[in-house]
Every structure is written in structure tokens, then in C-alpha cells.
Amino acid sequence: MPQKINKSQTGKPFRLVKFFTFSSLVIMFTATLVIAALNAHWVRNLLLEKSKEYDTLLVENLNHQIFSRFLLPAIIKYGEVRLKEKEQFQLMDNVVRSTLHSFNVEKVTIYNHENIISYSFDTSLIGQNNAGGVHYEKAMKQQPTSRLIQNGSFLELLFWYPEETKIVTFSPLKTSQQMLVGARPRVLGVVEIIRDVSDDYKQVLKLQGLIVGSCFIVMGILFVVLRFVVKHGEKIIEKRADERLRLEEKLRQAEHLSAIGEMTAGVSHEIRNPLGIIKSSAQLLKNKMKKLDANTKIPDIIVEESGRLDHIITDFLDFARPKAPDLRPCHVNEIVEKSILFLTPQFEENNIAIQKEIDNRLPQVLADSSMLYQAFLNILINACQSLYNDGSIIIRTAYKDGKIRINFIDDGPGIPDEVIKKIWTPFFTTKDTGTGLGLGIVKNMIEAHTGSISIGNNEPVGANVEILLPV
């Protein structure tokens, strides 16, 4: 006996696959966010490093210009440098602004060697003492420093997309080595440059956002595809599990029926011999009673019931041990006509009309005509019994796709749903008399011809028995 498999157990491995699939997607989404954060940090550091190198070159150029265009001319002309004097300050301002023109420099501040602001774009800062802080101290030790200053709302700073980004660079202001041949450069002060890099920073972040957005779109598409695959796979697994359960149920039923069939065949065979003796003895008794003119119906009852019991045993044997069909070329329409002809008296007695929709172009089939004849008779008798009186039966034959279709359609009350579910169950019957094997025998006969039979309700009323036979 095969072990019954629970449907939930069948889906466990697939649920594990689904779990790993969705877990992988969550991990990939999380990894994308982490990479985006690391990328933003990397962009920030890269921008700072590049800006630092750029500003260092800018300060070197400014050093050279201040030394050659302001410091030497001022010493030659005025004897000393005094930026407090308007003429020298204007000369210095012209040199600085012309040098840094078009470099997007927002502010320049120059500290002297005593950490006092000597020059600035903002003239209100000139003269302030100790304004450079630790960055001034590092620059005096010839250690340039740069830092980013970002301004914006809390959300803008949280998502690394500030409204304004500036880079502040402190670099030593030294004498020009090219003009002081043989002398070592000397630190004269510190230059502070504030440059607005908001546009560059936003362009880089836009590119980063485009990359991250593309990753999310790809991940989303992948998620949808995987979800579709998982759902489709789930349906396939469930369908296969259902099919497997049905096959196992059929196998168990077949084994059960096989055991019952073997037992029934053996018992029926043993009963048939004494039944034959009882029947023949009853007929002899009946003949003797006729000679004695005895008025009794007991022998008739014995003969009649013996015949009915013999018919039941024959059904048991036909169901338990179906015989192999003797396949020969034959015409289905001829077998149908023979069945109608045989039951015509019964149809007329019950006032049942027969409507034939016969396709005369049907090809021949290899079949056992006697078995098909018996199957058609059983179906027509069942239809006749369901109609009682004043009904009609449509008998239709057709050929399509290599198969002959035979339909027996009545206009009776139809078959209840709970009966249809059990209609092929052996020994199940709704009649007061009968073995419940008639339809099972018909089904065995049709399947012995590699055909199929189905029973259902017809719209709006009645039942429809459909048989398909391969050509």
C-alpha cells in the first residue's frame, strides 16, 4: 500500500527555495543602500581630495603672482609692504582678483606671520587677530589643509544633497623659489581660499543617484520576475502534488477493486454452479407440476429469481474479469441503429421520442461490435429509466480530430452533483434494484477500446453521456 503524501510536505522544499529567493532580494536591496551610502562618502572624499590638489595649484600660482606683481614692486616703490595704505591694498586686490578670475573663488583671506588678517575680500575682517585657528598653525608648518562646508536643511544634509557645498583650503604663502635663486622659500603667511563647489558636488550626486536608481529599477524588475517565477512554480508544484495525490488515490482504489474483483470472481464462480442446479431443478419441478395440474407459482418464482441472481453474478464477473475485445473493422452508426431497433418497443411503450443526428461520413473503427452494442444498450436503458414517460433522447455521432464522438442526450431531470461524484464508484446505485456495476462495466468496455466516457448534465435540462473512440 503506497504511503499517503501530505500536500503541505510536498511544498516544503519549494517554500525553502522561495524563502531563500526573497531573502536574497532583501539582502541585495540592503546591499544597494549600503553601497549607495559608501559611494556618497567616497564621492565626498574624492571631491575633497581633488579640490585640495586643485586649490594647492591655485595657491602656488597666487603665490607667484603676489610675489612678482605685488611684493617686489611694493618694496621697490614704497620700501616696505603696508597693506593698510589704500594704494598698496588696491594693488594687492587687483593682483589677487585678476589671478583668481574665473576660478569660482568666493573668498580669499591672507594672514601674516602673526596670525593677523592682512587682506580679505571682506574688508571688515582685516585686522582681526588669531582668526586662523589650527588650520593656520598647520599651514605655517607647510601642511596645507582642506575641508568641506555644507549648508542646507536637515533632510538635505541627511541624504547628502546639501543646498550649498564649499571647500575651504589653508595653504602657506611662500616666497617664489624661481625669483630667489639659491635661497630657500620662506613662509610669509597663510592664504585661505573659499571656493563654491556646489555645482560639481550636485553633478556627481546626480550621477550617483542615477546609478543607484538604475540599480533599484533592475532590482525591482528582478523582484517582479522572480515573484512571477515563484508563483508559477508554486502553481506547478501544487498541480503536480494534486495530480500525484489523485494518481495515488486511483492506485489505492485500483488495488482495492482488484482484491474485491478477485474475491467476487471466485465467489461468483462458486455460486454459479449450484445456482444452475437450482434453476434446472426448478424447471423440472415446474414441468412435473404441470403434469399434475397443480396450481402453484413457486417453481416460477424460483426460476425467475434464479435468472435474476444469474444476471447479477454475470455483472460481477464482467466487472471483475473484463474480457479483451475482439477488434474488427465496424461502423459505429450501424451499432447505434441496432441498439435503437432493439429498444424500440420499450421506447414506444414509454412514449419516448428518439432524435438521431447521425454523421454518415464516419470512418470505420477497429472495435468489438458486440461489446459496443452492449455498452450502447446499457446507456440507452439508463436514459429510458430516467425519463419515465413522455421524454426524448438525442443520439448524435460526429468525427473530429481522429476521434468519433457519440452523445446520448436526454431531457430528463439530470444528475445531482453528489451523484455525479460517485457515479463511477463500483456498487454505487440510486435504484432499488441493481448491482451498481452497469456503468462500471460500460466504462471498462469503452476503455478496452482505448476510448473514454464522461457523464454530465446538459443545459438547460437533462444528462449527456459522451463517448470518444479513436479511429
Q: What is the pLDDT of residues 135-163, one digit of tens each?
A: 889 988 888 888 878 777 666 665 556 77
The answer to whether residue 406 scores a pLDDT higher than 90 is yes
Q: What is the CATH code for 7-209?
A: 3.30.450.20
The answer to whether residue 191 scores a pLDDT higher than 80 is yes
Q: Average the pLDDT over 188-195 and give the result.
A: 87
Q: Give the whole-number percent of the chain exceeding pLDDT 90.
A: 7
Determine the longest span between alpha carbons in the chain, in angstroms: 174
CA distance readout (Å), 112 to 72, 85, 97, 167, 440: 17, 16, 19, 22, 113
- Rounded to the nearest 5°, which phi and psi values hold at 66? -65, -45
Of 374, 376, 338, 371, residue with least CA distance to 450 = 371
Q: Residue 32's pLDDT band (boundaries 50, 70, 90)?
A: confident
Q: Kindly report which listed range (150-159, 175-184, 202-211, 414-423) carries the lowest average pLDDT score.
A: 175-184
Q: What is the mean pLDDT of the chain?
A: 78
CA distance readout (Å), 127 to 118, 120, 188, 291: 6, 10, 16, 158
CA angle 74, 79, 83 (to 5 degrees): 50
In DSSP terms, 463 is beta-bridged to: 457
Cell of 311: 444476471
Q: Give the whole-number percent of the chain exceeding pLDDT 70.
A: 74
Q: What is the CATH code for 324-470?
A: 3.30.565.10
Which stretch, 186-195, 263-272, 356-365, 386-395, has highest mean pLDDT? 356-365
pLDDT at 429: 66
Residue 70 DSSP label: I
The answer to whether residue 206 scores a pLDDT higher than 80 is no
Q: What share of the chain is helix, strand, coil (3-state, %, to 5)?
A: 60, 20, 25
Residue 71 DSSP label: I
Cβ pair 269, 310 in contact under 8 A: no
The answer to whether residue 14 scores a pLDDT higher than 60 is no
pTM: 0.43
In DSSP terms, 467 is beta-bridged to: 406, 453
pLDDT at 204: 73
Q: Kindly report which listed range (81-95, 182-196, 215-229, 280-294) carries the lowest average pLDDT score.
A: 280-294
Of residues 457 and 23, the one with the higher pLDDT is 457
Question: Which region, left, alpha or beta, applies to residue 429 given φ > 0 means left and ψ of -120 to 50 means alpha?
Answer: beta
* The pairing of beta strand 187-196 with beta strand 105-112: antiparallel
Give the C-alpha separation, 359 to 400, whole Å.
Answer: 11
The answer to whether residue 427 scores a pLDDT higher than 70 is no
Q: How far is CA 58 from the centre of its chain?
A: 60
Cell of 216: 533599484
Q: Residue 468's pLDDT band (boundaries 50, 70, 90)?
A: very high
Q: Residue 177's pLDDT band (boundaries 50, 70, 90)?
A: low
Which 3 state secondary structure label does DSSP give 79? Answer: coil
pLDDT at 7: 47
Of residues 249 and 16, the one with the higher pLDDT is 249
pLDDT at 104: 78
* The pairing of beta strand 392-400 with beta strand 353-357: parallel
pLDDT at 179: 46
Domain parsing of the chain, residue ranges: 7-209, 324-470
Beta strands (DSSP E) in 334-391 are: 353-357, 365-367
The answer to whether residue 4 scores a pLDDT higher than 50 is no
Which stretch, 6-10, 55-59, 92-96, 282-286, has highest mean pLDDT? 92-96
